A and B are shown apart, each in its own frame.
Chain A
Amino acid sequence: MLLNVNKLSVKYRARKFVEALKGVSFNVEEGEILGIVGESGSGKSTLAYSILNLLPQETEIRGEIFFEGKNIFSLSPKELKILRGKTIAMIPQEPSASFNPVLSIGYQFQEFLREAGIKDKDKISYIIKDSFKRVMLEPGERIINSYPHQLSGGQIQRVMIAMAISVKPKLLIADEPTSSLDVTIESQIVNLILQLRKELDLSIIFITHNLGLIKVLADRVVVLYRGEVKEVNSKDYLFTSPKDDYTKLLLSVYHEMDS
């Protein structure tokens, strides 16, 4: 068991208390893709941020998240830095918003690797080229020297994935990584993730609202609704014999729309 989320509750302190997560528990096993399905307001992004311990100061957190047996809420700042930079990587929804627009892609990639503790220049350039090849980007100078606005949405997302896998993380959190992309690119990214998982033996948490994606990608599925886990099930059982009423509703809509 790689990750264990145990009765996690998160409250935001806005004008009123907003309870984003209400006692969420699930596990992530090594080498599996766990799909988390939820519509807007289900707390799925909050979940992603709490795994990285990146929630804002004023939030009230109860429950624990164990990563390889260690509670991430009681880590020292140094350990946290390693956790965020090396052991768990994240692919955000808006790839272009994650890059600094005035610095070149190559510079930001190098910076990222230096922060992760790799100082050797030759090693850095080897890692960049290697991870570019893995995500099927041309490893030459063209993309390395370009700026974020010069790349297409698909290319930027590939760079983002290349960065995420370059430090050989154990867990990859993908928070709706394809929802701002076109269908043809989405399909390519999805297949890329599947291929990388095979090559690198990654565990992946794939957060989405799209059941179609879950059907192709996930091994097991967590269904979130308004901060509560409605169902945890293997994918095949989820699509054939869902247990929860909300899952049934989602599936009926999905079948209605997809056939």
Chain B
Amino acid sequence: MELLRTENIKKYFKIKKRTVKALDGVDISIYEKLTTGLVGESGCGKTTLAKAILGFYSIDSGKIYFKGEEINLRNKEKFIRRNIQIVFQNPYLSFDPRYTMFSTLYETLNVWEGVSKDKAIKIIEERLEEVELDKDTLYHYPHQLSGGQLQRFSLLRALINKPRLVVLDEPTSNLDISTTFTILKLLNSLQRSYSLSYLFISHNLNIVKKVSSYVFVMYGGKIVEAGLTERVYNNPMHPYTKLLISAASYKLKDVRYWGEEVGGCVFRNYCCQKRKVCYNEPSKLQVEQGHWVYCHLIQYMIK
């Protein structure tokens, strides 16, 4: 079942008279009770997409549907805040350094309905166990806690008002490997017990491969390849996806740049197989069941 769907989202930023196409017609789908991965490098627009879904930015055009119903900031801000939450990359910056973890969580609990302090303590202490945190960490300030502990608190804050979808924006890239591993396990168990959906944003292919059932590969503000994670990884079709996969095992040695030309396929300037057709906008093509790619070359390859 589809939980959230974006339709042709565009968001342009104007920086010194130049227009930067942060999102240029992005369609993604997030499925219920599953993890959807979004892979891309810095500047590809993945964080912009996350912020657009959460309504931190107004989008220039396009629509976002939540269970088939259109949501936007004007009519559904409350709905978005209740149902969609976010966990950020840097746990150290995700908490106001002036408040203890308890005050931050208490504030979160109090947003929708008034909860007395005693009751809040009870609720929070119960849920601390779920994220495997000690009770005494509750009265610490953010700088007294480790990255892993803070990221668990981030998760707790996101989940405490019981949302349906959690956007995880590089939740582990500031953590050590062993902490990353435990956080990923925790995410998995929380997903099952609360039937949550995740949008897992990362530049790390190995992690996305590990956690997600669907994956979207993003480049230059566009989706270049999408589908079931296994199929995309085992049979990458887009030259950019292939490049990413080879880079993940440090096999990529050099990328050639072919000069700045605008229009057409976004990856064209780096693509070693480009042809004349690449000057046209590629359309969505189905490679196999549950695997799509936005590339002209695919026609030649399939033949």
Contacts and interface: CB of A to CB of B under 8 A. Distances in A.
Q: Do chains A and B touch in the complex (CB under 8 A)?
A: yes
Interface of A: 39-40, 136, 153, 182-184, 186-188, 190-191, 209-213, 216, 249-250, 253-254, 256-258
Given A209-B177, A253-B177, A183 B254 contact: no
Contacts, number: 68
B247 A187 contact: yes
Contacts of B181: 253, 256-257
Given A40-B147, A257-B210, A216 B250 contact: yes
Given A188-B252, A257-B206, A183 B247 contact: yes
Contacts of A250: 177-178
A186 B253 CA distance: 10
B255 interface: yes
8 tightest A-B contacts by CB? A39-B176, A187-B247, A182-B41, A187-B252, A184-B247, A191-B253, A216-B250, A253-B181
B42 interface: yes
Interface in B230-287: 243-244, 246-255
A230 to B, nearest CB: 14
A214 to B, nearest CB: 11
Contacts of A184: 41, 243-244, 247, 252, 255
A212 B41 CA distance: 19
25 contacts: A39-B176, A39-B177, A39-B178, A39-B179, A40-B176, A153-B42, A182-B41, A182-B42, A183-B203, A183-B244, A183-B247, A184-B244, A184-B255, A187-B247, A188-B253, A191-B253, A191-B254, A209-B177, A211-B177, A212-B249, A249-B178, A250-B178, A253-B180, A257-B181, A258-B206
Q: Summarize B's interface: helix, strand, loop or mixed.
A: helix
A212 B249 CA distance: 8
B260 to A, nearest CB: 13
A183 B178 contact: no
A167 to B, nearest CB: 25
Given A253-B181, A258-B206, A212 B250 contact: yes
Given A188-B252, A188-B254, A188-B255, A183 B177 contact: no
Q: Considering residues A187, A211, A250, which has the most beta carbons from chain B within 10 angstroms of its beta carbon?
A: A187
Given A39-B177, A183-B41, A184-B243, 11 more contacts: A39-B179, A153-B42, A183-B244, A184-B41, A187-B253, A188-B254, A188-B255, A209-B176, A249-B178, A250-B178, A253-B178
A138 B29 CA distance: 42
Contact of A187 (B42, B176, B251): B251
Interface residues of B, number: 27
A183 B205 contact: yes
A249 B41 CA distance: 29
A47 B207 CA distance: 30
Contacts of A188: 247, 252-255
A32 B246 CA distance: 26
Contacts of B243: 184
B248 A183 contact: yes
Q: Considering residues B177, B246, B248, which has the most beta carbons from chain A within 10 angstroms of its beta carbon?
A: B177
B279 to A, nearest CB: 24
Nearest to A186: B247
B137 interface: no
A216 B252 CA distance: 12
Contacts of A212: 206, 249-250
Nearest to B252: A187
Q: Considering residues A183, A188, A213, A250, which has the most beta carbons from chain B within 10 angstroms of its beta carbon?
A: A183
B204 interface: yes
Nearest to B179: A39
B217 to A, nearest CB: 12
A216 B248 CA distance: 11
Contacts of A216: 250
A187 B178 contact: no
A250 B206 CA distance: 16
A212 B246 CA distance: 13
Contacts of B249: 212
Interface in B17-50: 41-42
Contacts of A187: 246-248, 250-253
A136 B248 CA distance: 21
